[in-house]
Structure 1
């Protein structure tokens, strides 16, 4: 049980990091094209 909980938390953190990264990439993209 404990193991599953830990993996779940890790995957949640992983998705949070990805979402934050994507947001940063969107806001940091240069506007010149």
Structure 2
């Protein structure tokens, strides 16, 4: 069993002009 080094869940990012770049991104690094 390994521990996660990094876990991101539900990441969202929008550019300053309002364009949605990322939505609901999940990332797990062991």
Alignment TM-score, normalising by the size of structure 1: 0.20
Alignment TM-score, normalising by the size of structure 2: 0.19
Q: Which of 1 and 2 has higher RCO (CA within 8 Å, sep 6+)?
A: 2
Larger radius of gyration: 1
More strand by share: 2
